[in-house]
Chains A and B, each alone.
Chain A
Amino acid sequence: MTESTPVIEMRHIVKKFGDFAANDDINLQVQQGEIHALLGENGAGKSTLMNILTGLLQPTSGEILINGKTVTVDSPSKSDALGIGMVHQHFMLIDAFTVTENIMLGSEITKGLSLDTKTAAKKIQELSEKYGLQVDPYAKISDISVGQQQRVEILKTLYRGADILIFDEPTAVLTPQEIGELITILHNLAKEGKSIVLITHKLDEIRAAADTVTVIRAGKSIETFPVAGVSSQELADMMVGREVSFKTVKSDVKTGETVLNLNNIEVHDARGVAAVKDFSLDVKSGEIVGIAGIDGNGQTELIQGITGLTKVQAGSIVLQGKDITNKKPRQITESGVGHIPEDRLRFGMEVDMTLSENLSLQTYYKAPLSKNGILKKDEMDNLAQKLVTEFDVRAAGIQVTAGSMSGGNQQKAVIARELNRENELIIASQPTRGLDVGAIEYIHQRLIDQRDAGKAVLVVSFELDEILNLSDRIAVINAGKIVGIVDAKDTNKQELGLLMTGMSLSDAKSALKQEVDA
């Protein structure tokens, strides 16, 4: 077979930040019409490499060839012109703008002096129907869910007619059904001759979607090979560089007293619509209760209501016999709640403050971190140093800004801070979103340790694997209500998937039974 000219060829790419080489001699070749997965742990250098390809960063050395021609991609507009589009992991959207306005941004259609939003909206509508990316073109970004925001990001590149599409962890926020749809979209795009780079550390997706995979470890490209016939275990081991275990080992559940007691609570969303209705749930000490559901079914509001960030309109929340309904966030944290928030960049950390300051964010006002209102920087740094070591947070020191760290390490920092306090209840919302298997394994083990230590753990996740892997009991939420509560041992993905769409437990059971019978 004659090798055709690769669409993208990156040769010996080196990118140094100070002494640290994020990319250290990486080679990558992507053929036309191919779905090429870039597999690597957090901080392995995948995002850096793609930021170089999209002109956000300049390589220290190395060459980029597009369709066989050497190019310099020194700005994002240059990469746009070369037909490269990127769907970022952290969305690059303007909250106050509508979907259409965001997509038009930078390539506005004008009618005289005014923007022609109608034509653009129509084009967006067509694209979203064609690829099954449902989103209201006139909705404001601040009003739509994280999942929908990602669809906007995907539409943005499609709208600009990019030939090379880079997806940075595109499925991190999608439901299993949506992931299936996205994979279909990816295949369609590839069939039409578009070339796709898929950055991910989800091994099942690589096997389902990609044709070829390049493994990157510690800034170096390790190997490139076709995906067909490779097992997830082999991929994982190659990515991490050691043997990885998938299934977290859990001892049998030993539940104790009820720690959290939700009684018919109702919480409204930003628009004043009831997002959580008549919601009742108990979490006992020594158990992990998982909340499964499709993004945007009230999970965010539920957690914000429990933690005091949003007002609870009706019902009561009782923590160890104490009513904490509508108490201030600090009173709730002080009464023994650790909260790993869904959006770590918005709620979990102060990205412009240092790692050390972020690790003190919940306890800075107490001894030993401060006395009489005066901060003790030494104590803060000691705490940070201790947590960084204990929770294996990798950063170039504790005085770097949190925003400069990789997503996995940011999340580890948040978890370190929340688990380090004396808590009775741990609430973890999307605890492993955007993280690699190594980090997921670690975080899951930490949460299970908490459970084994007799803490009550409430986990919200859109990922069924995570829910099934962690939970002792699973509550399925749909349109703000509990559809059913099932024992993790007695259920499976199919049943949960049906419940998530709003089907009742008995209907789901009979539907599955019919399937088996048929």
Chain B
Amino acid sequence: MTTQKNSFSVALFSVIFGLIIGAVIMLVFGYNPILGYVALLGSAFGSMQDIGSVLTQMTPLILTALGFTVAQTAGFFNIGLSGQALAGWVGSIWYALTFPSMPVYFMIPSAIILGTGLGALAGAIPGWLRAQFGASEVIVTIMMNYILLFLGNNILQNTMSKGIKVSAETTKQVGANASLQMKWLTELTQGSSISSGIFISLIMIVVVWFVMTRTTLGFEIRAVGLNSDAAKYAGMSAKRNAVIAMAISGGLAGLAGTIEGLGNYLNFFTQNGSPSIGFDGMAVALLGSSSYLGILAAAAIFSVLKIGGLGMPMSSGVPFELVDIVTASIIFFVGASYLIKLIQVRIKAMDDKAATNAAAKKELKASQLEDKNQKGGE
């Protein structure tokens, strides 16, 4: 319980320090930080459309952060969330465009299952390689990000039929039978690209929390991640759980990619690099200190910064890159949580010292007073 409290205060300190560093840099470059941050908040919460954009941004980050956390619980560092998301994105769009007349109640569930499954497969491969051969999942997932990036682009450019593309680099948009966007949501948020994906993400927080803390599977994944020797002793299969945990992790990333495709962009287009939702998801998980509510809060903070940052140059002249500095500083401070804990300890020590000093002074005064009184008496 105390550790949770600690990580919460680390996260809070990190956000505050990140914002302060951003302010200092704005000052150094001659911008007014107050105006800058007001503009940031204005752009993030100024209209229903802005709020819709923030929620759209949050949707995949929640899922990739959950994915990162599940892998981390099993003792894996899944850097391949980007590639796994891409697998879901390409797969679901391709599938949706190939069957344009499939009824919606059949299309959407099957597309989501397909996208999630492809992500799960992309996650299970490095999991299996480590369980079976001891191959470092860090290196394998980094390399698989490239494989999946170029595989996706290649499928788009060379494999997909011309009929489902508008150009060599971009597919057509998916039809209403596959779109996750909802009319009332779009209207409520004045045309933002928000979709029902946000509800899927919120539900998945509960689902993943339940699986990890309330099921025998989650119990095994935790046990294997914390101490695989004791897990084996208790008859759990470390290999099986490693593969399952990585498949769940990749599946969540694949779901994030599917929602990006069917909910946000509605198409697929040539990617210049691995989608940032994978890496941002890792940062969200770290800031949220891998607690489920923490992930929700951290995803919100990241999305507000990102969407708010987009509007900053227009209304206050502060360049967008500064927001990236704030985000990077926050991650930096989370990483340097040791430093923050040290500062907390020092502050507490100072408080304690001040308290003892105050008490000592009081005592001294009291004794002096007594002395005086006695002298007065003489």
A interface residues, Cβ below 8 angstroms from B: 307, 309, 328-331, 333-334, 339, 341, 346-353, 357, 361-362, 364-365, 370, 373-375, 377
Contacts and interface: CB of A to CB of B under 8 A. Distances in A.
Interface of B: 214-219, 222-223, 226-227, 229-237
B233 A341 contact: yes
B233 A347 contact: yes
A438 B137 CA distance: 48
Contacts of B215: 370, 373-375
A373 B229 contact: no
A348 B234 CA distance: 8
B227 A350 contact: yes
Q: Which of B233, B236, B237 has the most chain A CB atoms closer than 10 A to its own CB?
A: B233
Given A328-B235, A353-B223, A347 B216 contact: no
Contacts, number: 63
A144 to B, nearest CB: 17
A357 B221 CA distance: 13
10 contacts: A330-B234, A349-B227, A349-B230, A350-B222, A350-B226, A351-B227, A352-B226, A352-B227, A362-B235, A373-B216
A348 B214 contact: no
B154 to A, nearest CB: 40
Contact of B217 (A339, A352, A357, A373): A373
A107 to B, nearest CB: 22
Contact of B219 (A348, A351, A364): A364
A348 B216 contact: no
B232 A350 contact: no
A362 B217 CA distance: 14
A72 B232 CA distance: 44
Given A329-B235, A347-B233, A349-B230, A361 B223 contact: yes
Nearest to A18: B2
A377 B227 contact: no
A50 B234 CA distance: 34
Contact of A309 (B227, B233, B236): B233
B326 to A, nearest CB: 33
A339 B233 contact: yes
Contacts of B232: 309, 329
Contacts of A328: 235, 237
A334 B226 CA distance: 24
B129 to A, nearest CB: 22
A45 to B, nearest CB: 21
Given A328-B237, A334-B235, A346-B229, 12 more contacts: A329-B235, A330-B235, A333-B235, A347-B233, A349-B230, A350-B230, A352-B226, A353-B226, A357-B219, A361-B223, A375-B215, A375-B218
Contacts of B227: 346, 349-352
A375 B233 contact: no
A450 to B, nearest CB: 20
A370 B235 contact: no
Contacts of B233: 307, 309, 329, 339, 341, 347-348
Contacts of B223: 350, 353, 361
Across the A-B interface, give the 3 residue pairs with the lowest CB-CB distance, nearest first: A330-B235, A347-B233, A361-B234
Given A350-B227, A352-B227, A353-B226, A375 B234 contact: no
A330 B235 CA distance: 4
A328 B219 CA distance: 19
B222 to A, nearest CB: 7
A105 B47 CA distance: 59
Given A328-B235, A350-B223, A375-B219, A361 B214 contact: no
A381 to B, nearest CB: 13
Q: Which of B226, B235, B237 has the most chain A CB atoms closer than 10 A to its own CB?
A: B235
A305 to B, nearest CB: 14
A331 B232 CA distance: 12
B157 to A, nearest CB: 44
B284 to A, nearest CB: 23
Q: Which of A339, A341, A365 has the most chain B CB atoms closer than 10 A to its own CB?
A: A365
A6 to B, nearest CB: 26
Given A373-B217, A375-B215, A348 B235 contact: no
A59 B357 CA distance: 18
Contacts of A374: 214-216
Contact of B214 (A352, A357, A375): A375
A330 B234 CA distance: 7
B338 to A, nearest CB: 15
A361 B232 CA distance: 11
Contact of B216 (A309, A333, A375): A375
Contacts of A370: 215-216
Nearest to A375: B214
Contacts of B231: 350
Contacts of B222: 350, 353
A333 B233 CA distance: 9
Contacts of A377: 214
A8 to B, nearest CB: 24
A347 B233 CA distance: 6
A347 B229 contact: yes
Contacts of B237: 328
B128 to A, nearest CB: 19
